[in-house]
Chains A and B, each alone.
Chain A
Amino acid sequence: MKRASELPRRARSVIGQVFVVGSTMTVAIIIMIPIIWMLNAAVRPIKEILVYPPMLIPQQITFEYFGSIIRNEQYQRFFLNSIILSLSTLAASIGLGLPAAYGFSRFRIRGGRIMLLSIMALLMLPPVTLIIPYFRLAKAFRFYDTVSGLIIVNIAFALPLVIWLLKAYVDSIPVELEEAALIDGCNRLQALQKILMPLAIPAIIGVGTFAFIAAWNEYLMAAVLTDTPRSQVITIGLSLFFGQRFRDWNAIMALATLSSLPLMIIFIFFQRWVVQGMTSGAVK
């Protein structure tokens, strides 16, 4: 038998390719099983779900569970609340974060390094250590069981990352462009608005996507700070199924699919930015 190194170069590279592509695909399929199973269960009648042997291909496909969820007023409320929460978090965290990033990047700030490191430390702060004061403050300031309460808390969670990522990006934009604008009589705010913001659009989209996904998926604070469907979001809607004795699996999976749909769409369109945001965020 020939050893691998004695095979002709071409053959070796083909074998290498088959190995690389084949094993990546195998792992990818294994990793996708829960998602495939979710989609699979969402479109078939209940009597076909927990059967022996499990059926990979549904015998009859039905979208009635999606329909019944979309028509359900309580779920409509959950979705609406999630959309309000995520968009507000996105807008506010960029509205607060971009000026701060600009300030850190372009001015000599006394203690700026310490401030940035503290912000970094906030990034690592376990949210669970804040549930008690948040619970108390929310009750005291009547934010308990409101979407606004959730928005306030989610902005605080998103802001440190937004500041860090945008600061790194602003650092990479040459200052000469703004200097020209300042010489032409712009003030700082105008320079930020007219010169920097258009240049920073990719980073803004990236961190915006990030803030949106984080707020959409946030669960713990929603569980602690809300109590009635009026203010509850979709992650709570999903978690309500835990603890039920009988589970209507196809409706559950249809809801899980629908709740992830916005993120899937975002991901398909903004994958590049999501990847950039994920990798440039923590280590810098």
Chain B
Amino acid sequence: MSQMTTRPQIDRRVGKAVNVGEVRRLRILRSLSGYLFLAPALLYLLGVSIYPLISTIQMSFMEVEQGGWQVVGLQNYANLLRDLWFWNSLKIISVVAVASTVLHISIGMALALLLNEHWFSIILRNFMRGILIFTWMFSTAAAALMWSLLFHPFGLFNYLAKTLFDLSAPVEFLGNTSLALWSVIVVGAWKYYPYYMLMILGGLQTIPLELYEAAKVDGANYWHRFRHVTLPLLRPVLIVISTIDMIATFSHVDLFKMLTRGGPLRTTEVVAYYIYKSALLDGNLGYGAAISTFVLMCLVVFMVVYMRILSRGGETGETSF
């Protein structure tokens, strides 16, 4: 839009000095130098991101046999479709994706609404916002360690559980087949919610105050204002962040690798951890690549559907992108 090559100021000046053919040559040169600015970064991404990505897809048709790579065709995919543990890992990650999206957005929404209220002191408000973003900054490794101390059989949570519910045996938060997954989900929600809170807060701040005033004049109470002003206007933001959240969740592996290693009884074996395990622990590199490719395909389908939803919203004027 505002490319300099078409800016009259410069062109006029160049035009004064040189003839038309030379101007054209200069323009080509200019856009060539544009590519020169891009080249280092693009070549880097081509070599270090795109090429490995393509070779993941390529390796999914191969397997290491007798010390060398052999082409096995669709064998890995055939195994994949029959592999119940693979479907199990997809099922688990879907539960995690939905649960953490719901948690992130509800926690984020509640806190964003509070922070968006009128505070008597801006400094206090910004301080609280800082405190509430704080958890985002810790590494997954540090977060996993903090929480495993809390989850410890003699830790704080067990003390609370014991005093509140009068339990006799300690709760194995990470060792119980029905609890472990939820424990990891809670740690993930704790670690990642600040991003969603900030995104929602940003969305709230774009809603014009007049709309609330008008709704108030019409006699709308807080819930009505939230339901009929805030939510519809936040819809685009909510769609975007929930999609980002779902996609991000698919790649989550750190917490599962550290806290539970897929256990107990493979109840927390999410698909990303299954890739890691098949490829690097069991040595089936080709099979791991096939799972990776499958996951990538799922994400592409997911994103296409999401773009559709967005553009359909755009046609009816509901979303504003």
Cβ proximity bits B38-78 to A, threshold 8 Å, 1 near / 0 not: 10111011001111110110010000000000000000000
Contact in complex: B139, A107 (CB < 8 Å): no
Q: Which of B44, B138, B285, B295 contacts A136 (CB under 8 A)?
A: B285
If A136-B285, A279-B202 touch, whether A188 touches B3 (CB-CB below 8 Å) is no
Chain A residues closer than 8 Å to B289, beta-carbon distance = 132-133
Chain B residues closer than 8 Å to A198, beta-carbon distance = none
- Chain B residues 154 to 170 lying within 8 A of chain A, measured CB to CB, are 154-156, 159, 163
Number of interface residues of A (CB under 8 A): 99
Chain B residues closer than 8 Å to A278, beta-carbon distance = 133, 136, 194-195, 198-199
Number of interface residues of B (CB under 8 A): 104
Chain A residues closer than 8 Å to B124, beta-carbon distance = 21
B250 at the interface (CB under 8 A from A): yes
Give, as a whole number of angstroms, the nearest-CB distance from B14 to chain A. Answer: 10
Contact in complex: B142, A132 (CB < 8 Å): no
Q: Which of A17, A24, A178, A274 contacts B133 (CB under 8 A)?
A: A274
Contact in complex: B10, A132 (CB < 8 Å): no
A contact patch SS:
helix
Contact in complex: A108, B37 (CB < 8 Å): no
- Chain A residues 65 to 117 lying within 8 A of chain B, measured CB to CB, are 96-97, 99-100, 102-104, 106-110, 115
Complex: A249 Cα to B135 Cα, angstroms: 20
Chain B residues closer than 8 Å to A110, beta-carbon distance = 31
Contact in complex: A54, B45 (CB < 8 Å): no
Chain A residues closer than 8 Å to B293, beta-carbon distance = 129
Q: Which of B9, B35, B59, B198 contacts A279 (CB under 8 A)?
A: B198
Contact in complex: A34, B52 (CB < 8 Å): no
Chain B residues closer than 8 Å to A238, beta-carbon distance = 139, 141-142, 144-145
Contact in complex: A179, B9 (CB < 8 Å): yes
Q: Which of B59, B134, B150, B237 contacts A133 (CB under 8 A)?
A: B59
Complex: A262 Cα to B55 Cα, angstroms: 37
A169 at the interface (CB under 8 A from B): no
Contact in complex: B149, A41 (CB < 8 Å): yes
Complex: A185 Cα to B133 Cα, angstroms: 46
Can you give 12 contacting A-B residue pairs, CB < 8 Å?
A: A20-B114, A31-B134, A107-B31, A109-B35, A124-B299, A128-B275, A135-B280, A183-B10, A217-B140, A249-B149, A279-B201, A282-B241
Residues of B in contact with A (beta carbons under 8 Å apart): 2-7, 9-10, 13, 30-31, 33-38, 40-42, 44-45, 48-53, 55-56, 59, 110-111, 114-115, 117-120, 124, 128-150, 152, 154-156, 159, 163, 190, 194-195, 198-199, 201-202, 237, 240-241, 244, 247-248, 250-251, 253-254, 257-259, 261, 272, 275-276, 279-280, 285, 288-289, 292-293, 295-296, 299, 303
